[in-house]
Amino acid sequence: MANKKLFEPYKIKDLTLKNRIVMAPMCMYSCENEDGMAGDWHYTHYTSRAVGQVGLIITEATAVTPQGRISPQDLGIWSDEHVEGLSKLVQMMKAHGAATGIQLAHAGRKAVLEGEILAPSAIAFNGDMKTPKEMTDEDIQETIQAFKEGAVRAKKAGFDVIELHGAHGYLINEFLSPLTNKRTDTYGGSPENRYRFLQEIIEAVKEVWDGPLFVRVSARDYHPEGLDVEDYVSMAKWMKEQGVDLIDVSSGAVVPAQIPVYPGYQVKPAEAIKHGADVPTGAVGLITTGIQAEEILQNDRADLIFLARELLRDPYWPRTAAKELRVDIEPPKQYERGWL
């Protein structure tokens, strides 16, 4: 093994990842009966990336309530019935040496579902989407409890990592941003109040979960009156104090906006949060080559490399990156003849 950081093990609490390559959560919209159950697509899709030698695989946004789904085809974890399918998925991924994570999520006002949808304030995402109901205190407490129960089920299913979805304009993100949170109670107004919903979710989850805990954030709202990286440096300090182990740094999607996209466009925010809050971060966003990933790690800009679309194109990307970086990695036994 050459001294390439991308293929060095990485330890978080009692979990050691075999390398620093993470499959980022990506919605698959593939539950066949609108019941949130894992099925054949999920088993094939995720297990193939484990065979491909990804170090940590984080499954797609998994809804903690039925109304918290982005679409009717989303994975769910709102009932004990979901545990069996997720447990099978975990076992299949672990059989090939991958660590496993689950992203617990609530879509908030971006849910495209029948019936009532919820948000901190009754503002639609755009002219084509439904106006949400402003959450009552009771709604808020029920949702926090749903995240806690989701964490209990994630533990039962055997996941190694929980990630809370606080990005991309979904419910937690909607509370954090002043563009979407116009509340005048204890959950709105000041930065501390807007953070309170996430704070209470983290507290509730940590009552039942002592494994690695990540939070995904959108570090830029791309709007002059929205949040930017320095705001998230402050919030990342609060998350670190609460025992969050890593911030997965994405950006955008809380309001419609023009986002300038280019290779590594979200690495700078990951770097700023890592050093500004002294907390480990994951970098994501148009990272496509081993050399690019290695640069990010060697220059101490982030601690883990989260790949999304590149792993859709190439389930065996770790092999591709290893060849590029001239690192020998152990192939799956069944593929030795082809991987040499």
Q: Mind listing the pLDDT tens digit for each residue in 137-181?
A: 999 999 999 999 999 999 999 999 999 999 999 999 999 999 999
pLDDT at 340: 78
Residue 326 assigned ligand-binding role: no
Q: Residue 318: which domain range?
A: 9-325
86 within domain boundaries: yes
CA distance 193 to 70: 25
* C-beta separation of 298 from 289 below 8 A: no
CA distance 154 to 307: 22
**φ, ψ of residue 249 in degrees (nearest 5):** -100, 105
Residue 45 assigned ligand-binding role: no
2 within domain boundaries: no
Residue 301 assigned ligand-binding role: no
339 within domain boundaries: no
Q: Give tens-digit pLDDT for 36-47.
A: 999 999 999 999
Residue 265 assigned ligand-binding role: no
CA distance 39 to 72: 14
Residue 216 assigned ligand-binding role: yes
Residue 127 assigned ligand-binding role: no
Q: Is the pTM of this model over 0.85?
A: yes
340 within domain boundaries: no
pLDDT at 21 over 80: yes
Average pLDDT of the residues in 98-109: 98
* CB atoms inside a 10 Å sphere around CB 336: 10
Average pLDDT of the residues in 267-280: 98
Q: How confident is the model at residue 238 (pLDDT cuts 50, 70, 90)?
A: very high
108 within domain boundaries: yes
Average pLDDT of the residues in 71-91: 98
318 within domain boundaries: yes
pLDDT at 234: 98
Q: Give tens-digit pLDDT for 191-200.
A: 999 999 999 9
Residue 309 assigned ligand-binding role: yes
pLDDT at 287: 97
Q: Which residues pair with 10 in a beta bridge?
A: 17
Q: How many domains does the chain have?
A: 1
263 within domain boundaries: yes
Q: Which residues pair with 101 in a beta bridge?
A: 58, 161
Q: What is the mean pLDDT of the chain?
A: 97
Residue 103 assigned ligand-binding role: yes
Residue 308 assigned ligand-binding role: yes
pLDDT at 1: 46
CA distance 243 to 175: 20
* C-beta separation of 181 from 105 below 8 A: no
CA distance 330 to 340: 9
Whichever domain contains 123, its CATH number is 3.20.20.70
Q: How confident is the model at residue 250 (pLDDT cuts 50, 70, 90)?
A: very high
Residue 223 assigned ligand-binding role: no
309 within domain boundaries: yes
* CB atoms inside a 10 Å sphere around CB 278: 11
Average pLDDT of the residues in 216-234: 97
pLDDT at 2 over 70: no
pLDDT at 146: 98
